[in-house]
Structure 1
Amino acid sequence: MNFKIKSQSISLALGVLLILCSSCYDKTKNTNETSKAEKEANKTVYASDLIPFFDHWKLILGDGSNAGVANNFEDEDFFYTATDDSGDWVVFKAPNGGDTHGTSNNTRTELAQIKKWYPATANDKLSATLKVMNVSSTGDPRVAASYAVVVGQIHSADGHENEPLKIFYKKFPGHTKGSVFWHYEINTAGDDNSVRWDFSTAVWGHDFSVVGPDEKTYPEEPEDGIALGEEFSYQIEVKDGIMNLKFTSEGHETKSFTKNLIESEYPTTADIPKQTQELFMPVGQDGVERKNAYAGEGCFFKLGSYNQTNGKSPTVNKNWCSGAETHGGDIEKQYADGNYAEVWFKDASITVSDEAVSNEGYFTKND
């Protein structure tokens, strides 16, 4: 009798133990699965996960530093990813004031191509889809560069290191719509590059020359402009010395332009256009261009947020010095009150010709 009771007790104890062990196993299994799911959900999504073309670029950050090839890289102040209802984006952010790269007065978070190509033999292409999320909240409206950001470029790595292309977005405070326009900067003849100037062409909205009549008044809002947060795309192709540009945006007319990069339109003073005479000549920027423009110079693409609004006094240069708020370079304060440029890219691609060569010399000079 006692033996039977003892056997039953042992059997009962073993059963309870098995149930408990099974429960513990299931709990551990569920915990492990939850932990794994949480890790996957919290996994950092890098820019290179969204747009896998970063092997072709070095990344310059808004503090003037060169982060190098930005695969599996992020910086919480300047370069990271974001998601909204329309998908995933790569964010480029740059304050009004802070340390800058090279000789520029302006901060940038921008990709710079690691190879350069020569316009006469080029067959190179850059395409991007983006939206501008913020431009500076302060600046002098009489200054053409105020409230503007450059979202794509062609830059020369040689000579004066001028820029045959800059694609701008600009929106005045209080306006719903901003303007998209592009610039051609002359490749100055002679040694004095301080006399260089840009010619601005409107895509949607106004061009660079439309400014406020005084320091408290803005011009009229463009009727066919682009709002903050509104997507648009650009395509840049340089082939056999000719630059071809195409701009598209849903609900807006598609615009295309061409520009010869190896034969100048501006080799004499008589060739200087009216826009330049009114905008740049009053500040002493009245140069002429080399007859062969950018021929013989290595050029390269740039993409990102190159903030055109800075804290320098307009008395220095009424076209490029905005007198905007910089809080002494304090990034946190600038971000808090809207004194920065922020651009989101959804997609981008690059085609590099076989004739392209290393652009390391540019970084050596400017880093």
Structure 2
Amino acid sequence: MNKKTITSQALPLIFGMLLILSSCNDTKTKTNTSTSNSTDLTDTQKPVYASDVIPFFDDWKLILGDGSNAGIANNFENKDYFYTVNDDNNDWIVFKSPNGGDTHGTSNNTRTELAQIKKWYPATADDKLTATLKVMNVSTTGDARVAASYAVVVGQIHSADKHENEPLKIFYKKFPGHTKGSVFWHYEINTAGDDNSGRWDFSSAVWGNDFSVVGTDESSYPEEPKDGIALGEAFSYEIVVKDGIMNLKFTSEGHDTKTFTKNLLKSEYTTTADIPEQTQKLFVPIGQDGVERENAYTGEGCFFKLGCYNQTNGKSPEVNKNWCSGAETHDGDLKKQYADGNYAEVWFKTASITVSEDAVSNEGYFTKND
């Protein structure tokens, strides 16, 4: 099968020789700024776009944290949600999303996220996504009993067809007051039948805890994970789907490399007796007790997603004790949320995508959810 692979590279810094007026000259992290109204930009004024840092944007469309579709994001920036910074001589792409605001499609959560333009089918797939990133912020508020509080999704495989469920979501989560957070991944069942209300996720820990480890009350937190990942600490993931098998690899300096394998064509959860203990404790009590169709995601078009999908929202936990965080949103006021830490922020340094030549258009996802 013919494929194309697009990789990333860092851009060098440009140093000036004269210093006339200066402030914050010793700051290590700087936003790459532009003067978009100028017609005579000098070299030091030229913006560094995300597509300069990771030149693979022809394969994606960008959804912003205000719910809008920015399209193919070559030579594009938005200072509220999507821009670049330079940190220790490396350029990074910033994806940022508040706890509350306009959302995309039917989701309750804001996102600044790339969605792959083409979809592929697991049975014949030979597709790959890699990324190196660091999470810089998760919400400072939420209900500790709610599993999605203080969490952000940084990579996904999403179905474009039928129930549009998600065979993969990669999470980072850190409780307030903790130095280290957890990285874990989810498999969501592709529910049998026409009713998708019984769908549930099964969570696997990479470093730290899985999704099911929560607080005993609204503001009491579990023990901090000893092998967790701190805010600002880089880690990488590699997702490979080939001939129906999903292989995951997670790496981070100073941490054990972790690998996982999941069959996307044959379900482990076709009867109620197959529902794992984790699900029985977390999802069954709120009525999410479905079973999966035998052939799982066979025959469904899937696509990659990458970015900052904030899992913490302002909805009441009484609605759903796993996904509704009751966090501060300041009624959607973006500046207030950013001022007191009620947002998610993820920086990406490198990424690559391998796209099968027989992948087909995924435009239906964008037109259906716009």
Q: Would the TM-score normalized by the shorter structure come out above 0.5?
A: yes
Q: Report what 1:207 is aligned to.
A: 210
| 2:285 paired with 1:251 | no
The amino acid across from 2:283 in the alignment is F
Alignment deviations for residues 103-151 of structure 1 (CA, whole Å, 9 cap, x no partner): 0000000000000000000000000000000000000000000000000
Q: Report what 2:149 is aligned to.
A: 146
The amino acid across from 2:257 in the alignment is T
**Are 1:122 and 1:355, in contact at CA under 8 Å, matched by a contact in 2?**
no
**Aligned-partner SS, 1:161:** coil
**Aligned-partner SS, 2:314:** coil
Partners of 1:329 and 1:157 in 2: CA distance: 29
**Which of 327, 330, 334 in structure 2 is aligned with 1:327?**
330
Q: Runs of at least 4 residues of structure 1 off by over 2 A?
A: 35-38
The amino acid across from 1:330 in the alignment is D
Partners of 2:295 and 2:305 in 1: CA distance: 23
Q: Report what 2:268 is aligned to.
A: 265
Partners of 2:199 and 2:169 in 1: CA distance: 14
Compute the displacement of 1:216 (Å).
1.8
**Which of 193, 216, 221 in structure 1 is aligned with 2:219?**
216
Q: Report what 1:127 is aligned to.
A: 130
Compute the displacement of 1:36 (Å).
12
Partners of 1:332 and 1:293 in 2: CA distance: 43
Partners of 1:180 and 1:65 in 2: CA distance: 28
**Are 1:121 and 1:355, in contact at CA under 8 Å, matched by a contact in 2?**
no
**Aligned-partner SS, 1:195:** coil
Q: Report what 2:298 is aligned to.
A: 295
Structural mapping, 1:135-214, within 5 Å: 135-214=138-217
Structural mapping, 1:305-320, within 5 Å: 305-320=308-323
Partners of 1:42 and 1:95 in 2: CA distance: 29
Partners of 2:365 and 2:119 in 1: CA distance: 9
| Percent pairwise identity | 84
| 2:364 paired with 1:361 | yes
**Which of 37, 42, 48 in structure 2 is aligned with 1:39?**
42
The amino acid across from 1:305 in the alignment is C
Partners of 1:38 and 1:357 in 2: CA distance: 40
Structural mapping, 1:3-152, within 5 Å: 39-152=42-155
Partners of 2:123 and 2:115 in 1: CA distance: 21
Q: How many equivalent residue pairs?
A: 333
Q: Report what 1:30 is aligned to.
A: none
Greater helix share, 1 or 2? 1
**Aligned-partner SS, 2:197:** helix
**Which of 280, 285, 289 in structure 1 is aligned with 2:288?**
285
Q: Report what 1:26 is aligned to.
A: none
Partners of 2:367 and 2:237 in 1: CA distance: 29
Compute the displacement of 1:364 (Å).
1.1
Compute the displacement of 1:42 (Å).
1.4
The amino acid across from 1:45 in the alignment is V
The amino acid across from 1:99 in the alignment is D
**Are 1:117 and 1:298, in contact at CA under 8 Å, matched by a contact in 2?**
yes
**Are 1:244 and 1:259, in contact at CA under 8 Å, matched by a contact in 2?**
yes
Alignment deviations for residues 20-51 of structure 1 (CA, whole Å, 9 cap, x no partner): xxxxxxxxxxxxxxx99972111111000010
**Aligned-partner SS, 1:352:** strand
Compute the displacement of 1:86 (Å).
4.9
Compute the displacement of 1:362 (Å).
1.1
Partners of 2:358 and 2:200 in 1: CA distance: 30
Task: Give the aligned CA root-mean-square deviation in angstroms.
Answer: 1.2
Alignment deviations for residues 202-245 of structure 1 (CA, whole Å, 9 cap, x no partner): 00000000000111200000000000000000000000000000
The amino acid across from 1:351 in the alignment is T
Partners of 2:309 and 2:41 in 1: CA distance: 36
Partners of 2:40 and 2:70 in 1: CA distance: 31
Partners of 2:326 and 2:39 in 1: CA distance: 51
Partners of 1:319 and 1:113 in 2: CA distance: 28
Partners of 2:57 and 2:140 in 1: CA distance: 31
Alignment deviations for residues 142-193 of structure 1 (CA, whole Å, 9 cap, x no partner): 0000000000000000011000000000000000000000000000111111
The amino acid across from 2:227 in the alignment is D
Compute the displacement of 1:62 (Å).
0.2
